Amino acid sequence: MKCITCFAFVGLFAGILVSCSTPTPLAATTTQTPLLPVSTPASTGTSETTAISTQIPAYTPEPQGYSPFDMAITKDGEFAYLSFCLSEDIFKVSLKDLAVVSVADLSEYFPIGFDLVALSASEEKLFVYTPTWRKLIVLDTQTMSVIHTIDDIGISDMIQSQYSPTLITWGGGNTVKFINTETYEVTEFVDSDEFFMKILESNSNQDLWVVVSGKGHGASEVNAGIYDHKTNTWSRKISLPPLGTDTIHDLVVLPNEQKAYVAIYGGWNPDHGAHDGWLDSIDLLSGEVKAIPIDGGVFCLEASPDSQRLYVAAEPSSTSTNNLLVVDTQSDEIVDQIYLGQTQYGWYYTQMNRLQIDPQNASILYGTNSDANALIKVDLDSLTLSDVHVFNQESFGPHIFVRQPGQATGFVLIQSPYAFELDLDQATIKAVVRFPNIQDAGGYDIAINNSGRMLIAQGETILEVDPKDMRLLIEHPLPKTVSGFWSFVLSNDQTSLFSIWPDPSLGGWPPNTFLRINTSSFQVEAKVKLEGVGFNSRPFELPNGSKLYALGGQQNGPVVIQVIDTATSTIQKTITFEEPGMPGISAGPYYPFAYEPNSHTLFVCATEVVLAIDTDIDVIKKVIHLGDVARAIGLEPFQFIYGTAIGMVYNPQENFLYIAHLDRSFISIYDLGNDKFLSQIIPLKGYFPDFIFANDDYSKIYTLNVRSDSVSVIDVTTKAVVNVIDLHSYLAEP
């Protein structure tokens, strides 16, 4: 099975994450249960601090993975083994309750890619294929440890033979490789007249396969049917329409072997907001082919054991986000659909990568789903979702770290009135605090000035708080023309709040207006519309306070950087960057800047580049292409999701730039002295970093991981993650 859409899938998140709305909370919890003593605000005007002491409940962290892809279910229906597109883990899951019972950590193979899995006939071994490194990794299913690897083997799909201890593998060519799962011997079968795209064994004759094969540029000739691999001949050869740029995602044969179905993922259809899709229904007895249109490109298929129903997972479209369909195999008509709804975090169950019916219970269908990051369990009698396991935690949504002046501590903000006090030198959570009078617990910013006052953005007001005891000192109303004020940076001289603001009078989104608010009067001192579509909400101010830089642009257009003179609050210059075929920016609540003071260079993140700007003359003096990260580790850019840089740390001691990549959740390291990426990258073991920062001596770097509710701690000496702080260990619910 091949998933070519995960590249689009991760890019989609880059757009979705710009929303600051509060995620749907975990259901059933009605009380807040702090796992540390919590400093809570006392009444306004008092100096009392209340510490809540509660019995600390037992907390067992659950393994997290991202974007479940392939699946292998044991014959007794007790366990499923899952691979992931965006994390280097293999999960062994009990199908009784969908609990993860053990995990194989394959982080040494980062990036593992869209890995395939298949059980051996004895089910004592699990074969995991990583296309990135062209390796077949063998796990012991009891210990989940690596016991063997087969190197330099190209595989696009694989199945376990039902007739012998053999994996049947093919790589999109005229060669099929057989791997003995006991001895690991590899033998080859070649038919120079064929290009094998999909293969399934016949249930009744071990010499026969059901095959889809293509020839010519763009598969101008496509055939399907029954193929005798002992004699290299077709028993029945049926012509299918040419593919062109369309792709085949799956092949299913009904258990009675009267029909086969081919899943087609077509070209983009702007009218539907999705790819075209259809099924080729192939009558293996008569040779008749019928096209069944599907609203959205088709991902995967599964047939019922009685051959009466076909279950079809398709891409969502503008007309439907519910594309798990039921096809009657007698009429080849869509007769029903299975409504899955949304996860507790608000994500739809859209991209389904694998469907499989329970081998012991034909009324249960399992599916791996990328967008929901879940394993689903469907009751086929009632056509309802009966159970689900979401493999990440994102109810907190950590999104920014705010330093306390003159201290080695600060606050990790989440989408809640609560925050975590982090000790940067010790890499520990010191306390959980609660901010007072939080009216909207979405993504809001705070700042602490040198006089020890905390300012908290609350849309239409600014709260002034004493951070020592979290007392509300005063609530400053903003002018009536200002609403939706959530993100800002405090000016260097602490007299202004700077924000790139989503002006409601201009549509309310994306952020496109420079707003300057006085920190004494809390009145608007400047309001300037910025040209360039959408902008990151937090600008960068030069250390000398002379200029601000706002990063903007389009997702698939030019990068635009507006330079604002702070003395006059006017646009001083517009810097643009555009290369053919190069995406622009992923606008969001990030802080995509780092500054090198000796050369007065500002580094700015975009989707696939980092721009080095000479701030003396405001020109781009260097473009760092992120595709070179792949080459630095021995890959080509097409093999690795390397883009969407969201933040950086400049380490002056090394003259290195540490770059956080959102989609694939890693840090790359750029050597500024030698103008190249290091061959070492740092997988974060947390998902979707959206803020990166360091302690004072640069011995530790941290990332906040918005889709795993965690903080990754990186040791700069070893350039490796030494700890992942699970925020749920300190606070049960937001």
In this predicted structure, what is the pLDDT of residue 13? 29
> What is the CB neighbour count within 10 angstroms for residue 248?
21
For residue 378, give both structure tokens. 């469907």
Residue 131's φ and ψ, nearest 5 degrees, are -65, -25
Nearest-angstrom CA–CA distance, 25 and 28: 9
User: What's the confidence (pLDDT) of residue 35?
Assistant: 54
Lowest mean pLDDT among 376-380, 549-553, 555-559: 555-559
pLDDT tens-digit readout, 642-699: 989 999 999 999 999 999 999 899 999 999 999 999 999 999 999 999 999 999 999 9
pLDDT band per the 50, 70, 90 thresholds, residue 581: confident
What integer pLDDT is reported at residue 56 of this predicted model? 42
User: With bands split at pLDDT 50, 70 and 90, how would you rate the model's confidence at 598?
Assistant: very high
**Residue 109 pLDDT > 90:** yes
CA 524 to CA 259: how far, in whole Å?
70
pLDDT confidence band for 393 (50 / 70 / 90): very high
Look up tokens 């080095």; give the residue.
612
Interatomic CA distance for residues 602 and 618, integer angstroms: 9
Which pLDDT belongs to residue 219?
A: 67
0.95 exceeded by pTM: no
Q: Indicate the residue type of 144.
A: M
- Per-residue model confidence (pLDDT) at position 216: 61
Q: How far apart are CA 451 and CA 53, in angstroms?
A: 30
**pLDDT beyond 80 at 586:** no
Indicate the helix (H) or strand (E) that contains 15: helix 6-16
Mean pLDDT of all residues in 416-438:
96
Structural tokens at position 523: 């009145």
Kindly state the DSSP code that residue 6 receives in the 8-state scheme.
Answer: H
The whole-number pLDDT of residue 699 equals: 98
Chain centroid to CA 679: how far? Answer: 23
Among candidate residues 614, 11, 13, the one with its CA nearest the CA of residue 372: 13
Domains of the chain: 8-22+394-729 (2.130.10.10), 246-391 (2.130.10.10)
Q: Within 13 A of 507's CA, how many CA atoms are on the CB side?
A: 8
Least confident segment among 144-153, 240-249, 382-391, 545-554: 240-249
Any idea what the Cα angle at residue 353 is, between residues 253 and 663, rounded to 5°?
Answer: 160
Task: Say what the alpha-carbon torsion angle 534, 538, 542, 546 is, to the nearest 10 degrees.
Answer: 70
**pLDDT digits over 276-317, tens only?**
889 999 999 999 999 999 988 899 999 999 999 999 999 877
Please report the pLDDT score of residue 270 as a whole number: 83
- Residue-level pLDDT at 276: 86
| pLDDT tens per residue across span 459-483 | 999 999 999 999 999 999 999 999 9
The full DSSP string for 307-371 is SSEEEEEE--BTTBS--EEEEETTTTEEEEE-B--B-TTS-B---EEEEEEETTEEEEEEEEETT
- In percent, the amount of the chain with pLDDT more than 90 equals 79
10 Å Cβ neighbour count for 542?
17
**Residues shown for the chain:** 734
Three-state SS at 233: strand
List pLDDT tens digits, range 10-48. Answer: 332 232 222 233 333 322 232 334 455 555 565 444 333
Q: Which residues pair with 668 in a beta bridge?
A: 659
Best CA proximity match to 477, nearest among 495, 458, 491: 458
pLDDT digits (tens, 9 = 90+) for 176-199: 999 999 999 999 999 999 999 999
Mean of the per-residue pLDDT values of the chain:
90
pLDDT, residue 215, reads 77
pLDDT score, position 7: 34
**69, pLDDT greater than 80:** yes
Structure tokens at 51: 């510490």
pLDDT of residue 45: 44
Predicted confidence (pLDDT) at residue 5 exceeds the cutoff of 80? no
Q: Is the peptide bond before 111 cis (omega within 30 degrees of 0)?
A: yes
Q: Is residue 218 predicted with pLDDT exceeding 80?
A: no
Instruction: Write the pLDDT tens digit of every residue in 504-538.
Output: 888 888 899 999 999 999 999 999 999 888 899 99
> pLDDT > 70: what percent of the chain?
91
* Residue 552 confidence (pLDDT): 93
Whether 82 has a pLDDT exceeding 90, the answer reads yes
- Select from 578, 573, 528 the least CA-distant residue to 553: 578
